[in-house]
Structure formats: C-alpha cells, structure tokens
Amino acid sequence: MKIRLASAALVLFFAGTVAFFSVSAPRFATASTVENLMSGFSFMAILAMGQAFPILVRGIDLSIGAIVGLVGMVVFDLSLLFGMPGYGIIPLALLAGTLAGALNGVLIVHLRLQPFIATLATLAAYRGLTYTISGRQLVPGLSTTPIRDPWITGIESYFDVGGWLGLSRLVTMPWVPLSFFIMLAVFAALQILLLAARFGRDIYATGGNHEAARLAGIQVKSVTIAAYAVSGFCAAIAALIMVARFTTATEALGTGVELTAIAAAVIGGVSLAGGIGSMFGPALGAFLLGAILIGLTLQGVPQFVQQIITGLILLAAVGYDRLLVLRRRRRLAMAAAS
Amino acid sequence: MDDRTNDRRSFLKAMAVGSAAVAGAAAGMLGVPGAETGFAGVARARAEGTRYRMAFIQWQPHTVPAAWSKGIEEVLTPQQIVDYELLDGQNKVEVQASLMDTLISQGASAIFLQPIDSVALAPSIAKAKRAGIPVITLNIDATEAHAAHVEMNHYYGAMDIAKAMGDAMGGKGKVAILNAPPGIIIRDQRTNGFVEGMKQHHPGIQIVADQVADWDRKKAQDVLNTILAANPDLGGAYGVNDSMALGAVDVAKEKGLLGRFVVFGNDGETAALESIEAGELTGTQYTDVYQQGRLAAAAATVLATGGVTAGAFAQQSRLLMPYVIATKANAGSIQPSQRW
C-alpha cells in the first residue's frame, strides 16, 4: 500500500513535470523529444533498477559507474583487439558485470565491510582495472576506430512502432529505440522476480529485518551477494547499450552514473532503510530526471539549475521516506505497548 | 606547416597569417560555387524576423572553452539575430550525446562541439548531419566528417616547444614530461610532437620520465618531486598544460632551482604568461583562443545565414590555429585583450 502511494505521487509528479514543460518549453511536446528521452535515458532506468537491489537489502552500490566502464572496455577489447564476434561478446560482458557485482557482495558479507566503503573501494579498483586493460592504450589507432560489429551496434536501432500500429497516420509518433524495449524486459523480469519468486521475498525480508530473516532460515549472505550481482548485471546491460550508442568505450565511460542511479532509485520510493520499493519507481525516476534535463535545456535554463532541482527532489524524496520510517516505528511501538 | 613559427616572429604577423588562413578556410568551407563567404558578422539579406539558434557543447568548465565561448559570443551577439547558449557536457559522453539530440530536435542552425571522444560523438554528428545541421568541432576532431574543425596546433606546437626547450638547455640534459591522463587525443598529440621534436632538433636530450599529473598544478608538484628524487640532475620539465608547468615552477622555486631549471607549458593562459614575464616559467605555446572561438562563430554565421546545410559539404575543412612560442623575449607583445 505504501509503495503504491509513493508510486502514485511519483506518477503525478512526472505527469505534472511533463505538462509544465509541454506548455513552457518550446518543442518539448514533440515526438523527437520522446525519442530522445527513450534513447538517452533507458540505460539510466536500467541502472536505477539494478541499484534498487543493494538498497533493498539496506546497502548501496557506488561501483556501478566503474562496472559500466569496465564492461565497456571488455566489449571494446574483445571486439577490436581480439576480433571476437558480437554474439560471443554479449554473454561474456554480462558475465563480467555480474561477477564484478557479486564480488562487491562477497566483500560486504565475508569481510564484514560497510557497503559504502566496500563499493567505494571497488569503484576505484574497477576504474583502475579499466585503464589497465584499455585497448586504447595498447594500440594507438584503436581510439579512433569505431566498433562495427552488427551484434553490438544493432542494440542502437529504432523501430517504427507507430507505423506498425497505424497511429502514424493520425499523429507523428516517435521511433522506439531497442534500448527502451530492453529496459522494459529488464523491468518485467526483475519485477516478477521481486513479487513472484522466493528470491524476491528473501530480499524484502533481509532488507526489512536482517536478524529476523536470518533466524527465519533465510540465507541472508547468499541473498545479499545475489542483490549486488543483480546490480552488476544491470550495469553490464547499461554498458552494452552505451557502447552501442557511442560505437566505442572510453576509460571514463559511466563515471558518476551511480549518483544519478541512486537519486532515481530513492526518488522512485526505494527506502534507504531497506526492504521497501519496487522496480517501477526507479525506472520512472530516471526518466523524470531525464525529462527535467531536456526540458530545462529547451527552455534555455543553465544546467546547474537542473542539478539544484534534482537535489531538491531528492531531498523531498528522502524526507518522505524518513517520514514513513518514523511512522512505521511509531505504529510498531504502539502495537508493542498495547 | 612548413613555415615554422620561430619565437622571434612578432605576434601580429602570426595573427595576420591566421586571418588569411581563415579567409581561405571559409572560402573552402563552402563547397558551393558562387556562395558568398562575406565577412564575419555580416549576414546576407534574410526574411524579416528570422532567428537562428546556435549552441556550444563544451567538455566541462575550463578556461579554454570559456574563452572560446566568449569569442563566439563576440561574433554572434552584435548580429542580434542569433540565440546562443553555452551547454555543459559535464565530462560525460552520454550527457554530450543527449544535448546533441536535444539541439537537433530543437532545429539548431549550427552546433559548436568540443567532443570528449572522437568516436563516441560521431553517431550524434551523423544524426545532426541527417537533420541538415552543420557541426563545427573545436580542438578535438571527430571520426564522422562534418562542416569544419578548428584546433590549436597541438602536434607542431609541441615540436616547437621541444626545439625552444632544447635551445634553452643548450642541447643536452634530462627532461621530464608532466602528462595528462591517457585516453585523450590532445594528450597524445602534445606528447608525441614533443618527443618527435626532441629527436629531430636535440637528439642529445634525454626524456627520462613521463608521468601523469592529471592536468593539475598541485598534483604536478608531487609528481615532479618524486621524479627529482630519482633524477637529481634533471634539467627541465614540460607540462602538457600550463597548470602542470606552473606546478613545476612551484617546485623549482621551492628547491632554489629557478633560472637553472627549464620549464615549458602548453596553452598560453594568462597565469602562464604572467609567470613568464616574472622570469619564472621559461615558455609556453600560446594560442589566441578568443580568436579560435571567433573563427568558429564566423564560419557558423556564414553557413547559417547563407542557408548552407550539412549536406552541402563534399569534405570537412580543417583549420589549425596559428600559435607563438611565448618566452620572456616576446611575451610582452601579447596584448591584454588577447589574454585569457
């Protein structure tokens, strides 16, 4: 119920933002803006959904930007240095991201490190590793060689959905990028995992009350490692989308995306106290931040204003989350007292 | 670039060469016979009330793009028909790509771009081209051909820095390079040009260290101190940008090496020129980046007001900015209005 309330508020806020820019920003309410939003921010929605998992188990994953960079460079090297075909690269890239994420989980669970510290350390380590394996440094010509593998570049393709549905005769429809469909698939898979699978129940239980979950026989260690692995897996998908979009990977690819992903997840109603949240909120949160960036750019408002507004929305979201936590505690205390 | 600029050549002469290069470039830029090139800031007759929209997407806030933007505005603002804005790429390719998308759907008349990566922004440039929008890149070229590219002369400038530096050191000794992080073309051009220049002009000089100092003055101090510990007989340092060179000057001051230790920078920002005039920094490659912005804006104006679309270019024009190796002997000829 609480989740639904938070989601409803977010949907209203998103609708309000879109309505505001449609009226005030020139050319905002156009098919091309919708297309830009989908192609420019689907990867961010995927990152935010992945980030939701560590937050659900009362952790945080600061290393996703570095994982994006690392996976991007793995794709770059396999394609341009080793000439591996794309259908072989994609599973290896997903595996690399998942392993990097799982390693975060192992550090947190087995070395008993704070998630913040552990993933801050791996942020530096993975980024360093990205520079170390960079094919751009080994072979000078590669930094100006685009990746041409159809399996990779095919990820950046667009579909005339409006044309198929026959809507294009009535109104100009945006072409939908494949990355948006990938985002929908990730959303569906993870949401089903959370709601219908045992793993989802374990995640909520572990995040809600770690000790109680352990006593109830839930493998909290494995569940925590799995949550970070999901985050790494999502970072790998995002990396593939980005490499396809840019036809290359840079050593700095993905720098700083973790902050936007965390912001989107929290704005999307994923509680930092753990155990509360769904996939819908983070995905919509990412598109909300994207819509604000595009809208303000069209209005000609300087970008630092966008950062200020993002900060304010984040504050509001965290404040609301805090309020819910306090209310829940009070109710529990009342129940205990009676 | 056969006519090497030597450090005796007066600054004005270099600027005159630059203007001639621009006129030539602008003429070559319009691959359309009979197209009017016009002068900077003079638009052709246009429909009443036509407004043009242009924007510059910078890499991240820094003195160089800020000075470009100022130069661009100097040309665009007086015309009163162009809405210009500076957009920040926040040092992220995905932000630059998203801003490109936004400008394309907005129907910009021209886009100035300082791409973070030559390949990563190529798809965005191709998209702008399909929409007919001319793109002019600054300093970093892209693998997708576009309207024009205006850049500081990184490679040959670095060669001349090596020559001047070797001359100052008497053709022998050891030097260290204070470098930028890898992965940026500018870094490679400014390093390779320097190494090549030393090979050609001063084979007796050894490059004993090449360390990353992150474009940063403070970091350069620490790095150079480490290098000096290993090579106490080091005779000079080359900073790939002025900030790092000024860091080397700080170390030389601290160790009482001023005058014996040769330091060269690259860019020519105000702080470096002042340091040269104070007899601390030995020299730097100076480029008038205001002028670089003005040239890009002049070209964009011609294209936009002349109704030239991106499809009209048979090939991309490329303009290398004139430069001067500024040392104590000639730094004074760089006017206050040319300092950035």
pLDDT per residue over B75-105, tens digit each? 999 999 999 999 999 889 999 999 999 999 9
Q: Are A40 and B118 within 8 A, CB to CB?
A: no
How far apart are the two ends of chain B, measured CA to CA in Å? 25
Q: Are A33 and B105 within 8 A, CB to CB?
A: yes
CB contacts, 8 Å: B107 with chain A: 27
Alpha-carbon span B189 to B155, nearest angstrom: 5
Q: Please, is B272 exposed, middle or buried when counting C-beta atoms within 10 Å of its C-beta (0-12, 13-18, 19+)?
A: buried
DSSP A16-50: HHHHHHHHHSTT-SSHHHHHHHHHHHHHHHHHHHH
Q: Are B119 and A145 within 8 A, CB to CB?
A: yes
CB contacts, 8 Å: B118 with chain A: 143-144
How many distinct helices (H) and strands (E) make up chain A?
A: 15, 2
The answer to whether residue A251 neighbours chain B at the CB level (below 8 Å) is yes
The answer to whether residue B94 neighbours chain A at the CB level (below 8 Å) is yes
Interhelix angle B289-305/B11-29, rounded to 10 degrees, is 20
* A246, A259, A296, best to mutate vs chain B, most B CBs in 10 Å: A246
Q: How far is CA A188 from the centre of its chain?
A: 14
pLDDT band at B287; cut points 50, 70, 90:
very high
Distance of residue A303 Cα from the nearest chain B Cα, in angstroms: 7
Q: Are A27 and B121 within 8 A, CB to CB?
A: no
Tracing tokens 């190529």 back to the chain, one arrives at B122
Least confident of A112-116, A127-131, B306-310: B306-310
Distance of residue B285 Cα from the nearest chain A Cα, in angstroms: 25
| A260 close to A238: Cβ distance less than 8 angstroms | no
A74 CB neighbour count, 10 Å cutoff: 25
Collect all residues with Cβ–Cβ distance below 8 Å to B184 and sequence separation of at least 6. Answer: B140
Closest C-alpha to B87, from B67, B107, B58, B119: B58
Per-residue confidence (pLDDT) for residue B147, from 0 to 100: 92
CB contacts, 8 Å: A253 with chain B: 93
pLDDT at B40 over 90: no
Q: Are B106 and A298 within 8 A, CB to CB?
A: yes
pLDDT at B304 over 50: yes
Alpha-carbon span A189 to A136, nearest angstrom: 35
CB contacts, 8 Å: A242 with chain B: 93-94
Interhelix angle B242-254/B217-230, rounded to 10 degrees, is 50
pLDDT at B323 over 80: yes
Q: Which of A32, A146, A303 sits opposite B143 (nearest CB)?
A: A146
pLDDT band at A4; cut points 50, 70, 90:
low
pLDDT > 90: what percent of chain B?
A: 65
Most confident of A63-67, A273-277, B4-8, B60-64: A63-67
DSSP A97: H
Tokens of A283: 């995905």
Distance of residue B63 Cα from the nearest chain A Cα, in angstroms: 18
Distance of residue A335 Cα from the nearest chain B Cα, in angstroms: 50
* Nearest residue of A to residue B97, measured between CA atoms: A40
Residues pairing with B319 in the sheet: B150
Alpha-carbon span A48 to A285, nearest angstrom: 8
Q: Give the number of A-B residue pairs with CB atoms closer than 8 Å.
A: 97
